[in-house]
Amino acid sequence: MADIQTIYQETIKFAAEKHGAQKVKGAKIPYVVHLSNVTMEIFMAARKTHGFDLGYALQVALLHDTIEDTETTRQELEMVFGKDIADAVWALTGDPKLLKEYRLSDSLAKIRQCPREVGAVKLADRITNLQAPPKSWSKGHISDYLFDAKQILKALHGSNEYLEARLAAKIEEYGKYLKVERSESLKV
């Protein structure tokens, strides 16, 4: 088994190549920054969680959007990283065959069948995504995103205590974006 640094370096190179010039939604930041931020949450969770499989979790974190957001297939991930990683990334992927409103619940059901580290990656992903929403988002979109975050937290209860507490705090904090918009609309 390779050391953690080698696993990280090989995996982030693969992910960076696959995501190419993709940017974080609503920002000019390269997408690989999002992947490294999710992975940092995983590193911190591993330090605070007994028996946490860091090598597996960091690969899943770095690859979590490759099937959903790039041309990468589940089969390619399995050839390069093995079946366990490919299955985990597939669980984190919204199934494009489903209507958009059913993708999250389907993904959460798949995640619950995986090792707890996969749930930790989903929690870390949402923690990282609960930044200031893009200016183009409506109040409804912000509200829906907040609702989804609450669903993730509820569905993945027991996956990782540290990340659950972090996500709960981020959800509380993210609520301000609804209040700001409401107070701005009252001024009109």
Tens digit of pLDDT at every position of the chain (188 positions): 689 999 999 999 999 999 999 998 878 899 999 999 999 999 999 999 999 999 999 999 999 999 999 999 999 999 999 999 999 999 999 999 999 999 999 999 999 999 999 999 999 999 999 999 988 889 999 999 999 999 999 999 999 999 999 999 999 999 999 875 444 544 44
Buried b (16+ CB within 10 A) or exposed e, 130-161: bbebeeebeeeebeebbeebeebbebbeebbe
Six token digits for residue 92: 């984190």
Q: Which of 119, 128, 146 is nearest to 24 (CA)?
A: 128
Range of the domain at 39: 4-187
Q: Does an H or E element contain 98, and which?
A: none
Quote the pTM value: 0.93
**Residue among 174, 79, 173, 166 nearest 122 (CA):** 166
- The enclosing domain of 135 has a CATH number of 1.10.3210.10
Q: In which residue are the tokens 């904090």 written?
A: 173
**Cβ neighbours, 10 Å, residue 24:** 18
Q: What is the spatial distance between Cα 146 and Cα 151, in angstroms, rounded to a whole number?
A: 9
For the chain, the domain total comes to 1
Q: Which residues are catalytic?
A: 68-69
